[in-house]
Amino acid sequence: MHRLLERQIKRTLGIEAAAWDALVERLRQAADDIADRDGELGRVLFGLPTLLDRVGESYAQQERDLALVRRSLELSSEELTGANEKLRQDAESSARALSALQRAFDATRASPGNAGGDQDDLVAIAEQVASLTREQERMRAALAQSEERFDLAMRGANDGVWDYNVATRTVYFSPRWKEMIGEAEHDVGNSVEEWSSRLHPNDLLRATTALQDHLAGKTPHFETVFRFRHKKGHYLWILSRGLAVRDAQDQAVRVVGTHSDISQRMELERHLEQFKAAIDEHAIVSITDVHGKITYANSKFSSISGYAMDELIGQNHRILKSGIHPDSFYAAIWQTISSGHTWAGEMCNRAKDGSLYWVLATLAPMLDDNGLPYQYIAIRADITQSKLHEAELRQAKEDAEAASKTKSEFLANMSHEIRTPMNGVLGMLNLALDTPLNPEQHEYLELAHSSADALLAILNDILDFSKIEAGRLDVHPEDINPRLLLDELTRLNEPRCRDKGLSFRLQLDGTLPEYIHADPVRVRQVLINLMSNALKFTASGEIRLIARRDGDFVRFEVSDTGIGIPPEKQAS
């Protein structure tokens, strides 16, 4: 991670760089834990490490560019200007000396009295001329090398260069400077307005003030960030830096500087701010030291707890203890995080005004080089409303179950109490039917007996239904002969089918076992209900009662040619 980003994270969140890798894993784990409850917050937490990596890469690239720019500026300002000026002065001095020597040599050679002793002087002069010539070539090569170094530094930094002449108010803009804003070489003049006219209106005053302050000597160097209009109309974010070249009276005569396109970095920082805003909007974030003392809290923490920021910082996290959880609950949390592991779960806290609120919390330790925690970071989501809703649903469910149980018990008791006298009525009717009766009396008693049977069947159904609801339906399996049971059902239902004009068929599998282990009452009850429904909803055709072997089981079926059961009713 880049050191600038490390300092920002440490200053903002109090997290050391050494703990970042472990924190990334915990952030992703927290994102997985919280995604089901808050999808947006989960995406923010999961994407935050990637975003910070991109910001760090941008910082690193920017630093490399600025290092080249800084070195080139150093060369281009006092050092480069002074060195080049000295080289030029030395070259001019050498040229003058060389010219004087050349004239002296020519005069000496033209003198009629030149002989003998003057020969040595001529040789000395010739040697000086050669030495000065070599020095002049060396200085010319050094000047060319210096200019080449400056040019390579600027091209390597991929930045635009500008050179402002204060006296003439003209500016040299390098080809890269023009290319950066989409302009061709010949499309940009050399007036200072070429720069100022492209500044964003909201940045114009700040940028020009920064330049004037540097010209006046109020700042050691010129540096500012502004939006700069591209030829296509959109704006680039530009970091502009420069240094003034001053005369003997310390007056600025030139300012040489660079333009660096930092649009990508500004975009990444904007996304980082958006991520931070999203986290602050959805999550409660705090950081504590190893003793639980709060060292950082975001605005969401302050808002939900009711404590001002200065009331939280420096306080132990115990000020939020609700009293809902036992001491063993907190002991288990500290045991987990102090051993270097992440804890996640639900927790109830108490706000400053005494009200309770619930959070879904992820507590992660930050580990030092020795693998020991030196601080803890907590990311929480407010689930108070969810917990209240759960409590309401739980109470409603308990109330509904209690009401259903009361109703079922009432129906069971009532149907049992009514069935007892009904059995007495049926018994008396059976006895009366065995006495001598005239046809009319016999008919009346048969009708009463039939009605009593129907009423008893209804009471039995109510009793069974109430037992099912109350969870008290008993099953008593025993060995029964399936053929005898089906013959009985045939004798009962065949006349009813015949009376309605329907045919009835009993289909038995030849491999049926002689006995099956089942509750004869429940089997008979289910088959009678199915047969009754078939009779009720079949207008013509036939009804079949089928029994066949299905592995170790016997499968009973009732088939009819009626309207059938709709699919949605079958599903229920």
Residue appearing with tokens 């939006």: 227
The DSSP secondary-structure symbol of 170 reads E
pLDDT of residue 405: 78
The DSSP secondary-structure symbol of 203 reads T
3-state secondary structure of 415: helix
pLDDT digits (tens, 9 = 90+) for 219-250: 999 999 999 999 999 999 999 999 999 988 89
Instruction: State the Cα–Cα distance between residues 455 and 365, nearest whole angstrom.
Output: 72
Q: Give, for all 572 residues of the chain, the pLDDT tens digit.
A: 666 667 666 666 667 767 767 777 777 777 777 777 777 777 766 676 776 677 767 767 666 666 655 555 554 545 555 555 665 666 666 666 656 656 655 665 555 554 444 555 555 655 665 665 666 667 666 656 655 555 555 555 578 889 999 999 999 998 889 999 999 988 999 999 999 999 999 999 999 999 999 999 999 999 999 999 999 999 999 999 999 999 888 999 999 999 999 998 898 888 888 877 777 777 899 999 999 999 999 988 999 999 999 999 999 989 999 999 999 999 999 999 999 999 999 999 999 999 999 999 999 999 888 889 999 999 998 999 888 898 899 999 988 888 877 877 776 677 667 767 877 787 888 888 889 889 888 888 887 877 777 677 777 777 666 666 656 667 789 999 999 889 888 887 888 888 889 999 999 998 999 999 998 878 887 888 888 889 888 999 999 999 999 988 999 999 999 887 777 776 65
| Biggest CA-to-CA distance, the chain | 190
Instruction: State the Cα–Cα distance between residues 572 and 570, nearest whole angstrom.
Output: 5
Instruction: State the Cα–Cα distance between residues 260 and 132, nearest whole angstrom.
Output: 43
Instruction: State the Cα–Cα distance between residues 402 and 409, nearest whole angstrom.
Output: 10
pLDDT of residue 3: 67
- CA-nearest of 236, 278, 271, 240 to 55 is 271
Report the amino acid identity of residue 21. D
Phi-psi region of 256 (alpha: psi -120 to 50; beta: other; left: phi over 0): beta
- Tell me the residue ranges of DSSP E strands in 417-561: 478-480, 503-508, 516-518, 542-550, 553-560
CA dist 494 → 200, 366, 490, 497, 536 (Å) = 97, 82, 6, 5, 14
Pairing of strands 542-550, 503-508: parallel
Pairing of strands 343-350, 235-246: unpaired
Contacts of 61 (CB under 8 A, 6+ apart): none
Joined together, the tokens standing for residue 297 give 């809290």
Instruction: State the Cα–Cα distance between residues 25 and 236, nearest whole angstrom.
Output: 35
Question: How far, in whole angstroms, is CA 518 from its chain's centroid?
Answer: 57
> What is the CB neighbour count within 10 angstroms for residue 176?
16
DSSP 536-569: HH--SSEEEEEEEEETTEEEEEEEESS----HHH
- CA-nearest of 382, 270, 383, 274 to 44 is 274
C-beta contacts of 318-323 below 8 A and 24+ residues apart:
318/292, 320/349, 320/350, 320/351, 321/349, 321/350, 322/348, 322/349, 322/350, 322/356, 323/350
- CA-nearest of 72, 66, 278 to 163 is 72
**Alpha-carbon dihedral angle through residues 179, 183, 185, 187, given to the nearest 10 degrees:** -160
For 194-223, b/e burial (b = at least 16 CB within 10 A) is: bbeebbbeebeeebbebbeebbeeeeeebe
Report the amino acid identity of residue 79. E
pLDDT of residue 548: 93
